Structure 1
Amino acid sequence: MRTGIAALVLGYVLSQFYRAFLAVLTPVLAQDLGATPEMLAEASGWWFLAFAAMQLPVGAALDRIGPRLTAGLLLAVGALGAAIFAMATGVGMIKLAMVLIGAGCAPVLMASYYIFARVFSPAVFGTLAGVVIGIGSLGNIAASIPLSAAVEAMGWRATVGTLAAITAAVALAILFLVRDPERLRHEQRGSVLDLLRIPALWPIFLLMFVCYAPSAGIRGLWIGPWYRDVFGADAKAIAWVSLAMGLAMVAGNFAYGPMERVLRSRKWLNFGGNALLMACLLALGTMANRQGWPTVALLMGVGFFGATFPMVMAHGRAFLPTHLVGRGVALINLFGIGSAGLMQMVTGRINKALTPPADLLNSAPTSLPYTAIFWFYAALVGAGLLIYLFAQDRTD
């Protein structure tokens, strides 16, 4: 069981990498393929939307055929997508590749969560969920300085081609090493509609809709264009800032589990963390034209306080019936990942609408679109927190 979970965690490392690597590739893709920030925002959004669209079939597959085949076969599709990315001759191929990679990465985290929910005590679900995301966030870190160094040494095509081979190898490891939990003897029938009829889940769905999108969008995409457009940063500088935010995300994922045991409340831990996330976003909007450590510290704050994903998942898991665990965790994940994809596209439109034309660059601040993006994310989190106030707390 341990080696199988380790293989799934490696798959999640790749999932975290792929959702964040476009930020560092922004300069080379702009140079080689003419990709604009809006185009890359759309490509990144397609990754998240494909990932989200797969959650309902993934959840059903986890309950019916188990995590081994579900995760192993789909991750092989992700390897194909990475190979297409490496051969891309235009932005259209990049978008197709991101769809395939997103679909391929869709089951790996939920497969491990399914095993935790079926095999381990409910009391440790939140901690285990956080550990997986914390380790998986090393992929986020790999998509910073290490990726920049690899691209400089080998070129972006060879780098992504190598990643395609690694992804295929991890898919094979999952197929050979993962052991499915024992099937339920008297499995009850049920569907996603049964989950939607549980009132306690709805405030949790809506918090998940707003809590992950800011850190995913800023770290995965907007750091690159923001630092390039406003501060004239090169790929190395962008990679260093991305690394700082990525490390904060890792720390946050490891920190929330112990904090739950101290506070003995999932609801108020999630509420407080996301309130601090909103404060960091508001401050970033105010300081979008200021380069230096205060801005980097706020980005790290977004990464750390925005790491409530596993604890929101644990809050929702507490209300899921056993026979619908696979579909339940996938449905909660759909709200988080689906929102991240939609918000990538929305913020791409904001960026395009507020970026001043070339002949007005001297009279309009280049930081304006990024101020709007940060404040948009802050407003989104604030709306979710208002609804989450009505959530029912539950611990195991």
Structure 2
Amino acid sequence: MQAGLVILCLAYVLSQFFRAFLAVLTADLGRDIGATPEDLAFASGLWFLIFAAMQIPVGWALDQVGPRRTAAILLMIGGAGGAALFAVATTPLHVALAMALIGIGCSPVLMASYFIFAREFPPAKFATLAAVMLGVGSVGNLVASYPTALAVEWVGWRATLAGLAIISAGVAAGIWFTVNDPKRVETEHKGSLIDLLKEPALWTILPLMLVAYAPSGALRGLWAGPYLLDIFGLSITQVGQATLIMGAAMIAGTFAYGPLDRLLGTRKWVILGGNLISSLFLLLLCLWIDDSVWLSVLLMALIGFSGAAFPVIMAHGRAFIPPHLVGRGVTLLNLFGVGGVGLAQFATGRIHAATVDMGPTAPYTAIFGFFAITVAIGCVIYLFSRDSMD
């Protein structure tokens, strides 16, 4: 199982990379194929929404087929195939279709590892193991910043994507040969997604899951690039360095959140406090939108750090999911978490288009303000949640 988890972690590195690399391709794709920020917001949003929609069939497949075949087949077809399509793209539509395929390929990899954690390890360790997988896998977030900017400068974005297609195929083959499926839970209880949705405790958690990851996912995945280019006139390499800092902060935040529930004896207040702080940093970014490039990079890093509660929210919801529905349960939570970023990218793309004529700072003030308000609303609903500790 150890070798299989290592390969799944490599697959998650790819997943983190693919959700974040468009930020450093903004100028190149605009010059070569005429892609605008709105086009890239649509493509990025499509990745997240397709990824989220896939959580329903992936949840069923994890419970019925197992993580090995589910992750290997989808990553081979979607991940490798989508990267290959991106490498030969000539229009923004090709980029959007490629991102949709890549979303399909990446959709099972994190949930496959969470499924194994839920079945093979003690429940009390779930949040920590989930955070470690998320934190180590988030190295892909770092690779999608400055290193990718350098690769694009050296060999071009087409060759970079072609190389990623080959790497994705190799990792998919590694999953097939190393991952062992946990034993299936034998039970007389039959269940479905509908049974999960009947659990009242989840309905105070899911709204925050919908909005908590969206600010850091959307900023790091796309808007950091256009924002730093338009407001401060940074080069692509400098954007890569800035997003590298934000990516490192997101990883540090993931590791920081991981053990906090056990150290403090609560999940609810760890999650609530962190997300309220995230909303505050978003508000400050609105207020100081063009004061200083270093202040903006620092605030984006703090947003990434404080908004890294994803694994603890996952563990909070996991506590209310019966064993025979673990696959569908963790993927339902992931559907809301990742789907929230997709919806946010579509919304912020429209916000950008509607405010672009109001001045250079107006679109980004509106986008960051949108994130601050939605996170605050999610926190208000989450106040009524029931705490859970294993």
Which TM bucket (shorter chain)? over 0.9
Retained in 1: the 8 A contact 2:62–2:115?
Answer: yes
Hey, what does 2:374 align to over in structure 1? 380
- 1:341 and 2:335 correspond: no
Give the structure-1-normalised TM-score.
0.97
Q: Deviations over 1:77-99 (max 9, x none)?
A: 21100000000011111011000
Q: Deviations over 1:362-383 (max 9, x none)?
A: xx53011000100100000010
Hey, what does 2:326 align to over in structure 1? 325
SS at match of 1:200: helix
Hey, what does 1:59 align to over in structure 2? 59
Q: For 1:227-238, what aligned pairs fall within 5 Å after superposition?
A: 227-238=228-239
Q: Write the distance in 1 (CA, Å) between the matches of 2:184 and 2:37.
A: 47
Q: For 1:140-151, what aligned pairs fall within 5 Å after superposition?
A: 140-151=141-152
Q: Write the distance in 2 (CA, Å) between the matches of 1:136 and 1:167.
A: 14
Hey, what does 2:40 align to over in structure 1? 40
- 1:209 and 2:210 correspond: yes
Q: State which drifts further: 225-234 or 121-130.
A: 225-234
Q: Write the distance in 2 (CA, Å) between the matches of 1:291 and 1:27.
A: 22
Retained in 1: the 8 A contact 2:232–2:293?
Answer: no
Compared CA separation, residues 187 and 103, structure 1 to 2 (3 A): farther
- 1:391 and 2:374 correspond: no
Compared CA separation, residues 187 and 256, structure 1 to 2 (3 A): farther
Hey, what does 1:137 align to over in structure 2? 138
Q: State which drifts further: 183-192 or 112-121.
A: 183-192
Q: CA RMSD in A?
A: 0.8
Q: Write the distance in 2 (CA, Å) between the matches of 1:299 and 1:90.
A: 31
Q: Write the distance in 1 (CA, Å) between the matches of 2:190 and 2:169.
A: 34
Instruction: Report how far residue 187 of structure 1 moved.
Output: 5.5
Q: For 1:1-396, what aligned pairs fall within 5 Å after superposition?
A: 1-77=1-77, 78-186=79-187, 188-356=189-357, 364-396=358-390
Structure 2 counterpart of 1:225, which letter?
Answer: P
Hey, what does 1:361 align to over in structure 2? none
Q: Write the distance in 1 (CA, Å) between the matches of 2:342 and 2:293.
A: 29
Retained in 2: the 8 A contact 1:82–1:163?
Answer: yes
Q: Write the distance in 2 (CA, Å) between the matches of 1:177 and 1:71.
A: 12
Q: State which drifts further: 163-172 or 184-193.
A: 184-193
Q: Write the distance in 2 (CA, Å) between the matches of 1:277 and 1:139.
A: 22
Q: Deviations over 1:25-80 (max 9, x none)?
A: 10100010111000000000000011011000000000001000000000012110
Q: Write the distance in 1 (CA, Å) between the matches of 2:45 and 2:277.
A: 25
Gaps spanning 5+ residues in structure 1: where?
A: 357-363
Retained in 1: the 8 A contact 2:187–2:324?
Answer: no
Retained in 2: the 8 A contact 1:187–1:323?
Answer: no
Paired residue total: 389
Give percent identity, aligned residues only: 56
Structure 1 counterpart of 2:24, which letter?
Answer: V
Retained in 2: the 8 A contact 1:267–1:393?
Answer: yes
Retained in 2: the 8 A contact 1:50–1:103?
Answer: yes
Retained in 1: the 8 A contact 2:60–2:328?
Answer: yes
Structure 1 counterpart of 2:307, which letter?
Answer: G
SS at match of 2:259: helix
Q: Deviations over 1:90-136 (max 9, x none)?
A: 11110110000001100000000000000000000000000011011
